[in-house]
A and B are shown apart, each in its own frame.
Chain A
């Protein structure tokens, strides 16, 4: 069993599994969003967690001081994902029955004094938070290490936990893409959300039906492309950034076969059986065509669909194209991951001469 888990934890399997689970959760959100489901899940996960923790290797990783916040984060995320789904499921049921959402009930619309109702409770939160942090700092000492030593770099060299998703992206993309372009797009995209999302529904109350696309696409980016990658980067990446299953000993000498090939090499050497053209742009022509097609043609094609037409109508052309661009940028990550696993594809466009690798 442990061996099986070690194998399926590998992103090659766990990423599709996680994605499928995500979409299942979205599809059956009304089942997920019930207290019964929460209790059952908790009842199942406790013995499973205990069984995991009984493994010496797994517990070693879990109790590594750097990883404590991530453990807390994982538990919090699970709850904070379930809770809105639960609320949304309740409200959606009421809305379908023609009732107002719970938040709009008269007793919930009543106004109260900011002092003491808000300010006082905020003070509680501050004190409780301080106590928590202090106790944590006393019990789990800061994981400070030796003075830096140029000849003895830590291995694995890990980013702070909140950047581990980015670091995981480096496995699949050129550093320039994974370290600059994509994070930049993430930040810009997050800033742009309020200006792109003109849907007035869902303000002030939990719901799903009214904001299907917004919630699904955001949660996919958040849970699958960010949190999942952090979990992988934290618990499953060991020395040399090699993948290790949750029960696998972090053997420094583990070697993984990774020989990746560029798309242009596939095209010229394998399919056309000829030498690589001297002109670098001609050499990469297939990648360039595909990329341009992905970025330019795909948004235009998307207008042919019913969904695209409706959305264009709702939010206007400029917003529409920005949304589509952000969405396909986001999707480039899973696409590249799958291509890497299936074909050992290195870069779609490989132009190291001008520092452009996609």
Chain B
């Protein structure tokens, strides 16, 4: 304080004032800053952008509408209008007088309305007073009655006056219109032409930035009624877990995704783009309208958060987009979001949330692919997944394995299935990245030996019932392709076709000669598969002995010489004992465990280790082995895998794996053993999930399907609940899928893999579209148990499946339900002809040359269409009619001609050329000729 202030003052006052002024300005600025910071929201910019886009689009439309107006006509009408106005001017005096009168009457009407209204209320009030007084016997009742009647009378008079006034008003208006008739007509004509344009102009005006717009959206004032505001959908069908309670989902995505539900913005960049699949999603007429399902129900993410781009938990679909978003939106990984948005390519995972327990979901191609892959690799066998319990065990039964292959093959195969068959579905457990140390390999060898001994010990004797008598392997090779083996199997020698078909229900047939112990077994298997394994899905193709021997000859000629030479190492007894001690020591001390092992015989030890090893690797989940009935799979349940917190996924030392659920699952599928990398694990704790050598694409598909297994509790009203028909259909499709019917047949667009092998679809297995509508239930049931060829020109055979009665019933009812058809359609009535109808039918049958393809029973030519004599028991009459009207609708690409395309008949001379009548007559004719084929119990 060198500079002395005035007495009593520590500071210079004017300096203090300056500081105060400075701080005040600072506070003012910060106050404005607060409001501005609150006011400026990213979504407002987006909405302004959207407004501009809408404006541009509307302007385009306005231009278009202007162009489409007939200018000549408009000019004409405008001339008329001018003329009319001219004429009206001449009658100006009359018009003015009339208008004055109308004004006068209008005034009278309004006045009378008041009088009338008052009287009306007085009547009501007095009525009440009088009724009460009268019922109580009050003295003034009489006086009140008099008043009431007076009011009533006046009211009536007033009403009458009103009617008079209204009538004269009408008359005057009519007179006025007559005086201005030309003008009115011309105006109406103009409005008719320009209506669209006028409406568009009104819409366009709404996008104007007017002072009103500015005021409504101004800072401070925008709480009143802003036009730029957060838009939201409240979805009560789907709920979110917030603050320990479930509340209806609130999605505000449409705040920025402005045009998501409106057609016409497909060309815009995001977020202004129209949803790419309005027909299925979002669209008002779709199955999932936006107002009922919102956005995050399917896409995931935080739909209620619109703070900025990141707050919604957007997830980029790939590294490229990630880089773009970081650049554009400062994107970062969402924090603490249990379910961030699905990557775009994984969105279909969400379907699982509501559509559970179905075999196939139309419209969800990627999800179906994932489900197919899960089925192919049999993930569900080791990992429980709710809704997959009905699936068959993926691998063949080992109960009679000793009759099929020898031990040496078995061991080498288990050690490395891919070495024998690069298409093997059996995954590799051994010689993987985490167990290829010598120490581990030696132990694995012991385990495989022990497993083999155990399996052979439990295996039942089996004697093939047929003898191989030698065959023509060239013919056999042809037969394999012809009869339809490739609907389920890939086959060596048909590599290109196998790849095209991509069948996986059965194993890829390669090196069979090195695998199968005896040709006798193979012949027996081919003739009657259920003889060897009762529950096999492999059907019989009703092969003749010759055919079976030929196929056997071919398959036995396929050898894998390199694999044959492999010698599997002998069992090391010391290591075996060591492993057993380790197992026993789980509950005993090492010493006691060692004593226990010591007490066992050599054979017992081997079998015990075999038993334990099968349990350890979970072989029994895929293969039926004696001693493991009812044991659950060894993998963790996957039903809710999609909701498992990311922190519970063990990334261990694998830092280059993307840190997300899908990143982990995909990496896991491609190489499950990778997680052991960089860890020091003892032999017994090594990761056991085997390696399927999946491609990235396969892993991606399965990842998608697994991601959909979320724990979200969707309220009952939100879940897709199947109708009775849909349930039956689904049960049927489960059997259809189990036996791989869809390997050959396309069922309403699902499956039909083998068709890809044929250039002409008419040579391929028939498409089963609306099959329940097509065939009679009892016929189908009978057919499934006793297959008879229907299409004689087909080389591929419908095999005879070993179906149980329940399974046959499920298929039949499934198809009926799928086509929403009644189970039975009576077909036992005799055909009743209209006069002359039968003759017309016969004539038509000739004219259309039906018998040129449907030859059977009509001439000796080679048939290239089904036997019409057998149509009656097989087909439903309604279907026949529908089929004749438009065969392409049911079987696209069929050679059956469309004779009545567009309801027009080619034969105008018959039945007056009436398509309906002609079709009916033909169907009757076909039903009549099939009379004798009816063997159903319903026949009278």
Query: Residue among B1, B13, B30 with the most chain A CB within 10 A?
Result: B30
CB neighbours (8 Å) of B23 from chain A are 124, 127-128, 131
Contact with B along A104-136 (1 / 0, CB 8 A): 000100011100110011011001101100110
**Is A148 close to B, CB under 8 A?**
yes
Task: Decide: A124 and B243 in contact? CB cutoff 8 A.
Answer: no
Could you tell me if A107 and B1 are in contact, using CB atoms closer than 8 angstroms? yes
State whether A112 touches B8 (Cβ < 8 A).
yes
CB-based contact A124/B20 at 8 Å: yes
With CB as the reference atom, state the residue of chain B lying closest to A120.
B16
A138 touches B34 (CB 8 A): yes
How many A-B pairs have beta carbons closer than 8 Å: the answer is: 64
Q: Which residues of A contact B645 (CB under 8 A)?
A: 151-152
A252: Cβ under 8 A from any B Cβ? yes
Within 8 Å of chain B (Cβ to Cβ): is A277? no
Tell me if A154 counts as interface (CB < 8 A to partner B). Answer: yes
Query: A149 in the interface, Cβ–Cβ < 8 Å?
Result: yes
Shortest beta-carbon distance from A294 to chain B in Å: 43
Chain A, residue nearest B26 (CB)? A131
Chain A residue nearest to B1 (CB atoms) is: A107
Alpha-carbon distance between A128 and B25 when the two chains are bound, in angstroms: 11
Q: Which residue of chain B has its CB nearest to the CB of A125? A: B23
The A contact surface, by secondary structure, is loop
**A69 contacts the other chain (Cβ, under 8 Å)?**
no
- On whether A145 and B336 interact (CB within 8 A), knowing A123-B20, A124-B20, the answer reads yes
- Cβ of B647 within 8 Å of any chain A Cβ, yes or no, is yes
Number of interface residues of A (CB under 8 A): 29
Classify chain B: how many residues form its interface, as a range: 20 to 34
A residues 137-166 near B (Cβ < 8 Å) are 138, 145-152, 154-155
B19 contacts partner chain A, Cβ-Cβ < 8 Å: yes
Chain A CB within 10 Å, residue with most, of B20, B243, B335: B20
Known contacts being A112-B10, A123-B20, A146-B337, is A134 close to B1, with CB within 8 Å?
no
B913 proximal to A (CB < 8 A) = no
B244 at interface (Cβ–Cβ under 8 A)? yes
A148 CA / B245 CA spacing, docked (Å): 11
User: Closest chain A residue to B240 by CB distance?
Assistant: A147
Interface string of B16-42 (1 = CB under 8 A from A): 100110011011001101100100000
Nearest-neighbor residue (CB-CB) of A128 within chain B = B23
Judge whether B167 is part of the interface by a CB distance below 8 angstroms: no
CA distance A138 to B26 in the complex (A): 15
Judging by beta carbons under 8 Å apart, are B336 and A138 in contact?
Answer: no
Inter-chain CA distance A131–B24, complex, in Å, is: 10
Within the assembled complex, what's the spacing in Å between the Cα atoms of A135 and B32?
11
Bound-complex Cα distance A150 to B243 (A): 9
Given A148-B244, A149-B241, A252-B647, A116–B13 Cβ distance below 8 Å? yes
Residue of A nearest to B19 (CB): A124
Known contacts A130-B27, A146-B336, A149-B338; A120 and B243 CB within 8 A of each other: no
Q: In the complex the two chains form, what is the Cα distance from A135 to B8 in whole Å?
A: 36
Residues in chain A near residue B8, CB distance under 8 A = 111-113
How far apart sit A152 and B711, CA to CA, in the bound complex (Å)?
A: 14
| Contact present for A131 and B338 (CB under 8 Å) | no
Is B9 in contact with chain A by the CB < 8 A criterion?
Answer: yes
Within 8 A of B (CB), among A148-201: 148-152, 154-155
Residues of B close to A252: CB separation below 8 A: 647
Q: Does B242 contact A (CB under 8 A)?
A: yes
In the complex, whether B11 has a CB less than 8 A from a CB of chain A is yes
Partner of A117, one of B10, B20, B26, B338: B10
Residues on A with C-beta less than 8 A from B652 are 253
Please measure, in the bound complex, the distance between the C-alpha atom of A169 and the C-alpha atom of B767, giving whole angstroms. Answer: 75
Which of B13, B23, B647 has most chain A Cβ within 10 Å? B23
A148 B30 Cβ-Cβ under 8 A: no
Q: B650 to chain A: closest CB distance in Å?
A: 8
Q: Which of A107, A117, A128, A134 contacts B34 (CB 8 A)?
A: A134
- Using Cβ atoms and an 8 Å threshold, which residues of chain A touch B19? 124
Known: A131-B26, A147-B243, A149-B241. A120 touches B20 (CB 8 A): yes
A-B contact pairs, 30 of them (CB 8 A): A111-B8, A112-B8, A112-B9, A116-B9, A116-B13, A116-B16, A117-B10, A117-B11, A120-B16, A121-B11, A121-B16, A124-B16, A124-B19, A124-B23, A127-B23, A130-B27, A131-B27, A131-B30, A134-B31, A134-B33, A135-B30, A138-B33, A138-B37, A145-B335, A146-B337, A148-B244, A149-B241, A150-B244, A152-B645, A155-B647
Seen from chain A, the residues whose Cβ lies within 8 Å of a Cβ on chain B are: 107, 111-113, 116-117, 120-121, 123-124, 127-128, 130-131, 134-135, 138, 145-152, 154-155, 252-253
A-B contact sample (4 more), CB < 8 A, given A130-B30, A154-B336:
A121-B16, A146-B336, A146-B337, A148-B243
